[in-house]
Every structure is written in C-alpha cells, then in structure tokens.
Amino acid sequence: MSFTIYPAIDLRAGEVVRLRQGDPTQQKAYSSDPAQIAQNWQAQGAHWLHLVNLDGAFGENTEPNQRAIKNILAACGDKIFTQLGGGLRSLDDIRSALALGITRVILGTAILENSSFAEKAIGEFGADRIVFGLDARDGVLMTRGWQKASDRSLFEFASALKEIGATMIIYTNIATDGMGIGNDTQNTRQLAEQSGLDVIASGGIASLDDVRQVKEAGLSGVIIGRALYENHLSLKEALIC
C-alpha cells in the first residue's frame, strides 16, 4: 500500500489558519495567501493537499473560503490532487466541489446526521471520490466542526461504513489535533485493522519520528498541519522519510 503525506490548508475567512483541538477561539493565522501556500507545498513535492473549509464546518459565511479554494486550484493546476472537507452536507455540495476540480471530498457531519447519505454519495460518485472524516473525542464521534457530540462510537461507525462500500477514512483524535504532542497512532492502527478500511492519520504530528510511526503502523497516509507551518519539520524531509 502506498503512503501519502497530505499538507493541510485550513481556511477561515479566506486565510490559512490552525486551531487547537478544533476550538475556533484558539486560532492562529499563518497566511492571507492560501494559493501561495499551496504552491509552496507543491514545489516541495506534495502530490496531495488536504483542504478544510472551517467556515463551512461552523455554518458561517463561506464566500472568502470558496474564493481561496478556486485560487488554489487555479494556481496549482492539474498537477496536484486535492481533498476538501468542511460543510459538505448534500449531494449538490459534492457535485459543486467536484465540478470545481476537487479530486475527492471529505464527509463528516452529514453522514452522522443522515444515515443514508454516505451510501447515496458512494452510489452516485464512487468510493474513490469520497473519504469519510471521523473525528472523535474520548471515542465519541463529533459533528458541526467538532462542537457537537453524536450518539455514534468510532469503531462501530467505521465498520458500518465498510459495509456500505467505503474504502477510506480520515481519523482525528481531537485531543491531539493542533497540539504537537504526537499522533494517536495506536488507536488509528486498531481502527484500520478492525474496520478493514484504509485510514489516514490526522492530528498531533510534531516530528519526523511521528511520521515514521504512522507509516510503520501500516496506515495509508498522514495529514500534517501546524508542524509544517511552524517549521518543526519540512515537507521535503517528511517525503524522504
């Protein structure tokens, strides 16, 4: 199985930001030029970008982020793949994102609030265009930009997704996200083994050792955010590693 590194570009009000544990009150801005950031990761060898429309996730005005996403796609051309999450809660939302040139979309809140939505999305667009974002706090899946607890457990829901034809998920332990304390690799590996899904690890990556641990755990990829923006590791080093 190939291993992919996904530099994260989290967007809020058109700027590149990072949040701590998904908390919108703990935000740090890194750039007002998302397209330039995307080109920088592309120049360093990235084949994929992980894009998050935080305003969409929080139910806020998404126009600045929509412009930023279009600018990223225009700047990078067709030489890079993109996955986009945040506020995609209908089949029309998915169609619009894919029509822009997004490679695949990330579904989270919508699949927890509507049990049939995941199956409909796979049926219409194919499993290769859909990745499911499972974000948990203490084993409970969270929705609405990690602000609301669902009544579904992580491992049970992942197995249900496998049964309807899903092939890939992104797992974030919210407690580690943006904290630079290392990834929850043990639970992420267990999730992959029990569900039979390809799992992308997300949250807490702080060093090259963290990247190595994720790869050696047999996972399909890793999303890196704050560690890249604060120069705790370079993307080139991570790709070589």
Could you report how far apart the first and last alpha carbons of the chain are, in Å?
Answer: 16
Give me the catalytic one of 92, 93, 128, 135.
135
Q: What stretches of the chain show up as alpha helix (H) in DSSP?
A: 34-43, 54-57, 63-76, 91-100, 109-113, 117-125, 154-163, 185-195, 208-216, 226-229, 235-240
- Whether 142 contacts 150, CB under 8 Å: yes
Query: Could you tell me how many residues make up the chain?
Result: 241
Amino acid found at 225: G
Q: Would you call 135 a catalytic residue per the annotation?
A: yes
**How far apart are the C-alpha atoms of 222 and 80, rounded to whole Å?**
17
| Listed residue (93, 103, 128) closest to 6, CA to CA | 103
Give me the catalytic one of 10, 184, 198, 210.
10
- Whether 179 contacts 204, CB under 8 Å: yes
**How far apart are the C-alpha atoms of 214 and 198, rounded to whole Å?**
13
Structure-token match 């705790």, residue found: 232
Q: Would you call 10 a catalytic residue per the annotation?
A: yes
Map residue 11 onto helix, strand or coil: strand
**Residues noted as catalytic:** 10, 135
